[in-house]
Amino acid sequence: MHPIWRRSHRPYAAALRFILLTLARREEVGRARWIDIDFDAKTWTIPETKNGQPHIVPLSRRALELLMSLKSRAEGELVFCVKGGGPLHNWDRETKAIQAESNTEGWTRHDLRRTGATMLGDLGELPDIVEAALNHTSIRSTLAATYNRSPYRPQVATALQRLADELDAIEMAEINGTQSDLRNLKSQMGAQTREYGKWTISLLDTLV
């Protein structure tokens, strides 16, 4: 068991990993409730989002595994909570603790969304799919939004699974210590992803 799981910031580490797997906002993850998780449909419904509309997030296999591990010891309606079921409220302190343990710095929780989106772009996902995964509406023109109201849910599900698989590949290369595999993986990344990849690889090991 990684030492981080025996420390106070365990729920925060799980929440940060979930942000990276779903590209959801920190506030949305902090408010996530078990009643909004549909394990059969493999979705998480966010009732209220920044753009004022409900958002259905397809869940990758890795995201579902994370949720199942938390469900077995749930203490209330919140998915990510402190002991006793209360909401997470020490994000800054615990994020700094995770940064220290993973020997990373200079990143914010929002960088997890940015990194995931960048990785999807480097994997060849179309901008509309990436924006749909982020639940963004501002990038699309008013005319385009008027005629195209598709949430791209099947495509987003595929994209998030590809993201989870890529993150798994990064972790496995680090765990196995196969430097050649790690170099090959880095060489396949785009320029922006390589920039974030410097801390992502160390961070992922901490968020196991």
User: What value does the mean pLDDT take over residues 178-184?
Assistant: 53
Angle at 40 between CA 35 and CA 43, to 5 degrees: 60
pLDDT for res 118? 92
pLDDT for res 146? 52
Distance CA 116, CA 23 (A): 7
Distance CA 165, CA 172 (A): 10
Q: Find, among 43, 39, 14, the residue nearest to 26 by Cα.
A: 14
pTM: 0.81
pLDDT top residue among 123 and 6:
123
Residue 71: domain span: 3-206
Here the CATH number for the domain that contains residue 108 is: 1.10.443.10
Q: Give the total number of structural domains in the chain.
A: 1
Distance CA 129, CA 50 (A): 18
Distance CA 27, CA 44 (A): 14
